[in-house]
Amino acid sequence: MDSDDDDAMRAFLPASFGKQSKEADIAAQIERSRRKVDVPSATGQESKKKDGSGGSDSDNDSDDSDDSEDEDEFPVSHEIVLKTQERAVTSVSLDPAGGRLASGSLDCTIKLHDFASMTPTTLRAFRSIDPFVSKRTAATAEAHPVHHIEFNPLAGSAMLCVCAHPQARILSRDGDILAEFVKGDMYLRDMHNTKGHISEITTGTWHPTDKNLCVTAGTDSTLRIWDINNKRSQKDVIVFKSKAAGSAGRTKMTAVAWKNSAQGSSVLIGAALDGSLVMYSGNGPFTRPAGEIREAHKAQTWTSGIDISSDGRMVVTRGGDDLIKLWDIRKFDKPLVTVSHPSTSDIYPTSNIRYSPNSTSIITGSATGHLHILNPGNLQPEHVTPITPGSALIAVDWHPKINQIVTGSANAETHVLFNPSMSSRGAVEVMSRAPKKRHIDDNPEFTMDQNVGISGDSIVTPGAMQGSRKAGVTGTGKSKDPRRPEVPLQTPFQKSQPDERHIAENIPLAKMLHEDPREALLKYADKAQSDPMFTKAWTKTQPETQYAQLSDDEDEGPEKKRAKR
């Protein structure tokens, strides 16, 4: 036998006995997750090429190398896309370990994603939460868009949930409600005397060193510090008195940040709708601000993003006046750098801006769907990459442990950006797993009776195929969706009652139930006089009424006789 035939035979025969498992090609899976970004060439370079004055091939090679170097410097070369929301994603957050992702949306729900349970073919949320639905108030619960969701950076077992509602909630990492802060008395004029917010909360954040404290910013011109162990009243209240003309001392607080400073204490900074920036010592007292800038941004524009650097010295703000400004806490009176950046806060007031974990970069989104990575010194873009072209990029977050960037867009997509050589765990683990093997039984077209909607070999309990048991409806007739009205049950008493149409057609005078009784009776007055229904037999034999003749004295009547006496 020739050597070639021998090699062909060896390739055909199995190398071992038993069932052979096919391992996933991890390198190919990760390569499929690489982002395909088309980098258009500059118009100036194209004109130079046409004129022949410049633009050699070596320049193009250098530009391509610069783009590849940027992708290697930042974790943006690969991505996974989570399409679990129905409307715009307004907030994203990762737990301290980087294993669980929470996203809030305008569809009034929070989706929880666990990287440990996802595979390349099962990119879905394991739980959907409506923060304002509980077993106690399921029938009367309201739905509110989610403004902000944030895991506790010190203890990942809790997360702060802020919706378009005066009451913020503390949720567990599984979505259960741990605490609901109290609502204040809206009829009290002095905000120092209310126990909670009296109007909608815009945003909030956690204390940098105390896992039990958080702060919320409201449209009632207050910042309120809460202890999650005491939901009956806030721990401290900061009332911001606006100095803008015509505001009557009140304005809406639009953004808040809380970080440690270089001296070891914490710094609390808030932004207001009148364009002011106010700074407090994070450890209190909060009677007077440590610094205040009245015209930090244009008045009546929504300053949606604010963040403090890791050393607590620099502050970056993103305003609704299409400007990004850099501030120094040590000289908190004028901005160090101001750059132009189109704002999306007029449509999406939760558009944020974030420092990187080591404060070497600043990330934010844009109305065109691009991710901008800025230099923290001069706010110039170091790398700009499209994430959702045509849809605004609203929320961004950069996790320090797994080194991955999470974004939320207006087209209801959540993107997790990573680099296999720089990032760890998270999306890297998801793309390193084998896809879930699909069985023929997973296809409902082969295993379900399309007419009935159940499997052909399934065991049906007697009485389980009633008409009331529809999709989304429980056995008692109540809908699983609290916003859908309850389907009334048809009791045996209701089954024995005739409908209104049957009554109107077969029962005489049934229409009189909906008429005025006086008019209905007067309508038959002439007929009752001429053709009586019940006394018709005595019309001819009925005697005529005869009245007695009264005398002149009797005409006076008994009252006049009494008056004479």
Taking the alpha carbons at both ends of the chain, their separation in whole angstroms is 156
Q: Output the pLDDT for position 542.
A: 72
217-267 residue pLDDT tens: 999 999 999 999 988 899 999 999 988 866 778 899 999 999 987 677 889
Greater confidence (94 vs 261) lies with 94
pLDDT grade, residue 299 (50/70/90)? Answer: very high
Contacts of 132 (CB under 8 A, 6+ apart): 108, 141, 142, 143, 144, 163, 165
Q: Could you tell me which of 357, 365, 372 has the C-alpha nearest to residue 413? A: 365
Task: Go through 361-386 and write b for each residue having 16 or more CB atoms within 10 A of its CB, e for each that does not.
Answer: bbbbbbbbbbbbbbebeebeeebebb
Q: Is 400 helix (H, G, I), strand (E, B) or coil?
A: coil
Pick the range with the lowest mean pLDDT from 156-160, 266-270, 473-477: 473-477
166-223 residue pLDDT tens: 999 999 999 999 999 999 998 998 899 999 999 999 999 999 999 999 999 999 999 9
Q: Output the pLDDT for position 492.
A: 52
Please give the structure tokens belonging to residue 133: 């639905």
CB neighbourhood size of 27 (10 A): 10
Q: Output the pLDDT for position 152.
A: 95
511-552 residue pLDDT tens: 767 778 788 778 888 888 788 777 777 777 777 777 777 666
Q: Output the pLDDT for position 527.
A: 83
Q: Output the pLDDT for position 62.
A: 47
Pick the range with the lowest mean pLDDT from 62-71, 96-105, 227-236, 532-541: 62-71
380-418 residue pLDDT tens: 999 999 999 999 999 999 999 999 999 999 999 999 999
pLDDT grade, residue 72 (50/70/90)? Answer: low
Dihedral angle at the C-alpha atoms of 125, 130, 136, 137, nearest 10 degrees?
-150
327-357 residue pLDDT tens: 999 899 899 999 999 988 888 999 999 999 9
Tell me if the pTM is above 0.85. Answer: no
> Which strand (E) or helix (H) includes residue 200?
none
Q: Output the pLDDT for position 136.
A: 44
268/270 Cα distance (integer angstroms): 7
363/352 Cα distance (integer angstroms): 9
312/293 Cα distance (integer angstroms): 18
Residue 80 predicted with pLDDT over 80: yes
Residue 52 predicted with pLDDT over 60: no
Contacts of 130 (CB under 8 A, 6+ apart): 108, 109, 110, 141, 143, 482
CB 420 within 8 Å of CB 78: yes
Q: Output the pLDDT for position 314.
A: 94
Greater confidence (278 vs 559) lies with 278
Q: Output the pLDDT for position 49.
A: 39
Q: Output the pLDDT for position 256.
A: 96
Q: Output the pLDDT for position 81.
A: 95
Q: Output the pLDDT for position 470.
A: 46
pLDDT grade, residue 91 (50/70/90)? Answer: very high
Question: Could you give the domains of the chain?
Answer: 71-436 (2.130.10.10)
Pick the range with the lowest mean pLDDT from 195-199, 321-325, 337-341, 489-493: 489-493
Average pLDDT on 126-155 reads 78
Residue 116 predicted with pLDDT over 70: yes
Greater confidence (169 vs 52) lies with 169
Q: Output the pLDDT for position 423.
A: 92
486/339 Cα distance (integer angstroms): 54
456-483 residue pLDDT tens: 555 555 555 544 444 455 555 455 666 6
Q: Output the pLDDT for position 498.
A: 64
Q: Output the pLDDT for position 133.
A: 66
Q: What is the mean pLDDT of the chain?
A: 81
